[in-house]
Amino acid sequence: MADGPYKYIRDADGKVSRVIRVGTRKSQLARIQTDSVVEKLKELHPDVQFEIVAMSTTGDKILDTALSKIGEKSLFTKELENALEKNEVDLVVHSLKDLPTVLPVGFTIGSVLKRENPHDAVVLHPKHKGKCLDSLANKSYTLTVVFQRGNLNTRLKKLDEKDDFSAIILAAAGLRRMGWENRISQILGPNDCMYAVGQGALAVEVRARDQDILEMVSVLNDSDTVLRCIAERAFLKHLEGGCSVPVAVHTEVKNSQLYLTGAVYSLDGSDSLKETMQTSISSDKQDEEQEKVDEKVQRVGITALKVSEAAQDAAVKLGVDLGNLLLSKGAKEILTVARQLNDAR
């Protein structure tokens, strides 16, 4: 039975329970990620029934074209957001890196969970087991990079069953969540390869007007992850970046300081800019506990009710300031050329 946009069920004993419908992509990794979020919500709300609704997105269906060439935003989120808008689901679990820095009107990211390792990993062809990039025979320092699409299962199968690639680069977070950590030959640290904005973090998107759902998911927020990802997203937004341009980041929280390193690159990597800035995110604990976060305020698409507003504002400013620093040194020119070359391919 339904009451407005909400769904309820009655069990054999006549007990009525609310049903929360959770949207997700159909891939194995997406289901694993969604199951992990639902398990956390079940622990907090044992009287609520959670129903998973899986669907395919545009990005799942178009597998023969680079994401940057498809030309549509929200490749992995549009169908899920349509379901959210039609009240067919009540919340959606995403990989945060799939969500644009500006969400459609009426939606917000209600929680960003504790981040898995955000770095990229090298997965070698089985014949190279035990090696790393540096020890590969031939061309180890002049790597030939080849475009590859598909989910984790598909990409690993292509690597293992063919001899087209010596290695592939995948997000370490996805491999770990799939239980394939033994395939990781090497983690690429920030000096070797920085990562995509939001990589390794899961986000829960909700309807901004659903205060009860927003409150429900807000307890899943991990403060450090929220602040790191707000800074990263603010940096990307200020550069007007996206899937079609090479923008990378590295963040960490140390001693109440948030450090953000951001970089932009030409498509061939011959031209680049990279800078680091930091800001204080400390706050008086008593003030933080008394603070009422305004649920109407989004910061780069995120409404984090349980995280200090002052710290969130500092994270946004850090991202904008770093973006301005790189723009003052020529980032716009690098990214403009990268976009033009990408469009011409």
Q: Please give the Cα distance from 308 to 221 (Å, whole number).
A: 12
> What tokens appear for 191 in the block?
């000096």
- Give the per-residue pLDDT at 107: 96
Burial class (CB in 10 A: 0-12, 13-18, 19+), 188: middle
The answer to whether residue 329 scores a pLDDT higher than 60 is yes
Residue 274 contacts residue 261 (beta carbons within 8 Å): yes
120-124, strands of its sheet edge to edge: 167-171, 120-124, 186-188
Own/partner contacts of 323-326, CB < 8 Å, gap of 24 or more, are 323/234, 323/235, 323/237, 323/238, 323/239, 323/262, 324/238, 325/275, 325/277, 326/239, 326/262, 326/263, 326/264, 326/273, 326/275
8: left (phi over 0), alpha (psi -120 to 50) or beta: beta
Residue 207 contacts residue 301 (beta carbons within 8 Å): no
- Give the per-residue pLDDT at 61: 52
CA atoms within 13 A on the CB side of 306: 18
Residues classed as catalytic: 98
Q: Please give the Cα distance from 301 to 205 (Å, whole number).
A: 9
For residue range 55-102, list pLDDT tens digits in order: 976 655 544 455 454 444 555 688 899 999 999 999 999 999 999 999
What residues contact 72, with CB distance under 8 A and at least 6 apart? 58, 78
Identity of residue 161: E
Residue 250 contacts residue 332 (beta carbons within 8 Å): no
Tell me which of 5 and 263 has the higher pLDDT: 263
Mean pLDDT across the chain, nearest whole number? 87
| Stretch among 38-52, 62-76, 105-119, 121-135 having the lowest mean pLDDT | 62-76
For residue range 202-251, list pLDDT tens digits in order: 999 999 999 999 999 999 999 999 999 999 999 999 998 766 689 999 99
Nearest-5° Cα angle at 297, 296 to 303: 95
Cα–chain-centroid distance for residue 306? 20
The answer to whether residue 112 scores a pLDDT higher than 50 is yes
- Give the per-residue pLDDT at 5: 58
- Give the per-residue pLDDT at 4: 47
Report the pLDDT averaged over residues 95-115: 95
- Give the per-residue pLDDT at 247: 95
All structural domains of the chain = 8-118+196-344 (3.30.160.40), 120-187 (no CATH)
- Give the per-residue pLDDT at 63: 47
